[in-house]
Structure 1
Amino acid sequence: MRSTGIGSFPGVDLAEALKINFAECPELPYLPELPARGVASGMIGRGIAALSGLSADLQPAGWRLTDAPGRDQLRARATLRDDLDQLEEAVQDYTGPFKIAICGPWTLAASVERPRGDRALADHGARRDLGQSLAEGIGQLVVDLGRRLPQLELIIQLDEPLLPTVLAGEVPTASGFSRHRKVDLPELSERLTDVVDSIMGTLPGLAAEPVEGPDLPPVGSGLPRTWLHCCAPGVPVKLIKDAGFGAVALDLDQLGTRDWDLIGQAMTDGLWFGAGGLSTATGDSTGRQWSPDQIAQRVLRATRTLGLEPDVAGRMIITPACGLARFDQRSAVTALRAVRKAADIVTDQLAD
């Protein structure tokens, strides 16, 4: 069983963060976000940087779509380019899977304002244009990385912390006195599928991703190339799988009985599961709240409750529940090391 991190990381030195992530996540390293460098380097900023054909700028109320790229979007794009340059230097001797996280279309639509104000979520055309722009931009990013680093088996993780809120119609309007209407399920799925299709269509071999069933032969490492991560309750697991994602990564603390039933069925059908076994909630930022044994027992308890066969349980990957930006660097290293050791414990237990 493998382990990996999720997205954000403390500090402002990407070279150091990459060095740590390769050391502590050797089977699935990833490109961390460093929001301490500024808003252009956070989850939404990286999503803004990836947009193709759409412009934005940072206003007092947050990111807003504009007619021409603003200074902050240009800074976000420059930061992403520099991050990829540093990644290129860091991975020259590495061959294998590598994960990059980008903000998903629904969290972006619920966070970015239209030119006239209020969220892009409020307007069907705006959320369609934003989603298609993001899908095209992520596809271009995959092509760029494939050209720069052909030895990497690229994995794209969409971060969608607001997806359940959008689904429930609970995103507040600009005034705060009402909520945006629910988005229909077909549209929710379509925007996610747009991104998956863009990723799967940009590099040779991706269309062979084994997400249709557990008996299909693995490609490369066998890891799915498209993930969706959400650390909120009420994640629509079936919708995510039906949209084409090969893996879903969730916070174990947010899961109820019904969620586990859906996860168990989806895993039996071929979905991989990122088990967020180390809490990153408020008050837990020491990174020492779970020992490797405790994390491992949480995951093993889930596999036994679901009655998963060892080969199906092997499609779990242990992660922190969310990003580690709130941690100090020492505690973030402790957290990644804990989930890596937990993965080793679970592997040994499943082998017995």
Structure 2
Amino acid sequence: MGNGTIENVTSGETGGETGEARYPWPKGAATGVGSMPGTDPGEAAAIVFGELPEFPHLFELPARGAGADVIGRTAALLVDLAVEIVPSGYRVTAKPGRDHRRAVDLLRWDVDAFSEAADEGSPSVVKTQLAGPWTLAAGVELARGHRVLTDHGALRDFTESLIEGVAAHVSELAERTGARVVVQLDEPTLPDVLAGSLPTPSGYGTVAAVPEPQARELLGTVVDAARAATGCPVVVHCCARRPPVGLLRAAGADAVSLDATLLDDAPGELLDEIGEAYDAEVMFLLGLVPGRAPDRRPELKQLARPAFDLVDRLGFARSTLAERVLPTPTCGLAGATGEWLRTALSLTRDLGKAFIDPPEGW
């Protein structure tokens, strides 16, 4: 498992129907974005497999502290590169020390718990989330305090190391779960990278904007490598208010994950990019369920409204949601209560089913 080709994914059966199927998850499935509250991997695994059995994701538990967030977790996969914790965040270090070993251990414990749950759940496909190359390079400093993305040689080294680490990670997940593995690359910092709005070490200036062609090329290199390593489509997630959907699609993303509740006042340019990707049958993982508990439990139709509004504005039939949209929470659930966590994931799963067979009156 996990070492097939993309052709294995693009032909066969999905959702119980025969025919061409570009995606390995079942029709009507739902999944999580990544982070969850709490510190117990075993409990997190049980919740994920209990609420999202058709497309479980390898959870992240950032409440455990340094090394458990998306940057530390991804740094734990790097080959021949190590990081340490300094007051300003993560910094490259000459050799693995306590901070790096802790990140490696945390990831290992998560994979162990996830694999044990998979033995009982027998999933056909699972998802793992990692920082994309630009978010990683923006979130780690060089020895002098400058971000990795400001040094072309360091950026190249980090990208090559990330590619090698991802390949080893997904190979292990596939072997231990017996499932296909989908990689989600998290790029929340990419809009700031493109806009040149990241602060310099002094705090008095900003890092120069990265030209869009360069950003697209580097991201595309990692997307292609992840697809080659898994034989599965690659998701790119960006929960920013104005995600660069056109760039993500041009970089080769097979699926784009974004917060659909932020699109009410989206400019025409962004809607055009989303519409072009949707028309090209790029899958959208739409964030629809809030990450924190609202005052009242929302109705399913209310949660689905941003998805309906989006396809209406784009001029597509609502029936296409069943084929081209996978519901998720709006972003990570690290700030949720334990009670809302289960409720949010349950509602997300119910949305997936409702897109296939909408209740009367929808």
Return the TM-score normalized by structure 1.
0.88
Identity of aligned residues (%): 40
Summarize the Cα distance change of 1:232–1:289 in structure 2 as closer, same or farther, 3 Å threshold.
Answer: farther
Structure 1 window deviating more from structure 2 (288-297 vs 8-17): it is 288-297
- CA drift at 1:302: 1.7
1:91 match: secondary structure: helix
Structure 1 residue 295 corresponds to structure 2 residue 295: no
The residue aligned with 2:329 is 320
SS in 2 for 1:170: coil
Q: Is residue 136 of structure 2 the alignment partner of residue 127 of structure 1?
A: no
Task: Indicate the SS of the match to 1:197.
Answer: helix
Amino acid at match of 1:168: A
2:91 to 64, 69, 75: 64
Deviation at 1:311, TM superposition (A): 4.2
State how 1:177-192 maps to structure 2 within 5 Å: 177-192=204-219
Q: How far did 1:285 drift?
A: 4.2
**Which of residues 110, 123, 144 is equivalent to 2:138?**
110
Partner of 2:22: none
Q: Tell me how far apart the structure 2 counterparts of residues 251 and 328 of structure 1 sit (CA, whole Å).
A: 20
Q: CA deviation at 1:259?
A: 2.0
Partner SS state of residue 349, structure 1:
coil
Whether the aligned pair in 2 keeps the contact of 1:121 and 1:180 (CA below 8 Å) is no
CA distance in 2, matches of 1:260, 1:22: 34
How far residue 288 of structure 1 moved from its aligned partner, in angstroms, is 4.8
The residue that corresponds to 1:216 in the other structure is: none
SS across alignment from 2:92: strand
The answer as to whether partners of 1:10 and 1:324 remain within 8 angstroms in 2 is: yes
In the alignment, the residues of structure 1 paired with residue 73 and residue 341 of structure 2 have an alpha-carbon distance, to the nearest angstrom, of 21
For residues 147 and 219 of structure 2, the distance between their equivalents in structure 1, rounded to whole angstroms, comes to 18
Separation (CA, whole Å) in 1 of partners of 2:223 and 2:97: 28
- CA deviation string 1:253-301 (max 9, x = no partner): 3331432221121021121001111233xxx445856432211222122
- Whether 1:169 aligns to 2:196 is yes
Partner of 1:340: 349
Cα distance in structure 1, aligned partners of 2:223 and 2:62: 26
Q: For the structure 1 residues 63 and 319, does the alpha-carbon distance in structure 2 shift closer, same or farther, using more than 3 Å as the test?
A: same
Instruction: Kindly report the root-mean-square deviation, in angstroms, between the aligned alpha carbons of the 2 structures.
Output: 2.0
2:19 corresponds to: none
Secondary structure, in 3 states, of the residue corresponding to 2:104? helix
2:42: which partner in 1? 15
Q: Deviations over 1:127-161 (max 9, x none)?
A: 22222211221111112223323x21111111111
C-alpha distance 88-313 of structure 1, shift in aligned 2 (>3 A): closer
Please point out which of 68, 73, 81 is paired with 1:46: 73
State the Cα distance separating 1:70 from its structure 2 match: 2.0
- Cα deviation 1:211-267 (Å, max 9, x = unaligned): xxxxxxxxxxxxxx3101111122211211121211011012333143222112102
Secondary structure (helix, strand or coil) at the match of 2:277 reads helix
1:262 paired to 2:240: no
Give structure 1 stretches of 5+ with no counterpart. 210-224
Would you say the 8 A contact 1:2–1:316 is kept in 2?
A: no
- Runs of 5+ unmatched residues, structure 2: 1-27
Are the counterparts in 2 of residues 65 and 113 from structure 1 also a CA contact under 8 Å?
yes
Contact residue 219 and residue 251 of structure 2 kept, 8 A: yes
Distance (whole Å) between structure 2 residues aligned to residue 86 and residue 338 of structure 1: 24
Q: Are residues 287 and 331 of structure 1, via their aligned partners in 2, closer, same or farther at CA, if it must alter by over 3 Å?
A: farther
Correspondent of 1:90 among 108, 113, 117: 117
- Partner amino acid, structure 1, of 2:98: R
Q: Which residue of 2 aligns with 1:275?
A: 286
CA change 1:323–1:312 in 2 (3 A) is closer
CA distance, structure 2, for counterparts of residue 25 and residue 32 of structure 1 = 12
Residues in 2 aligned to 1:342 and 1:313: alpha-carbon distance in whole angstroms: 10
Residue identity matched to 1:145: L
- Whether 2:31 is the aligned partner of 1:31: answer no
Contact 2:77 2:162 in 1 (8 A): yes
Q: How many residues align?
A: 329
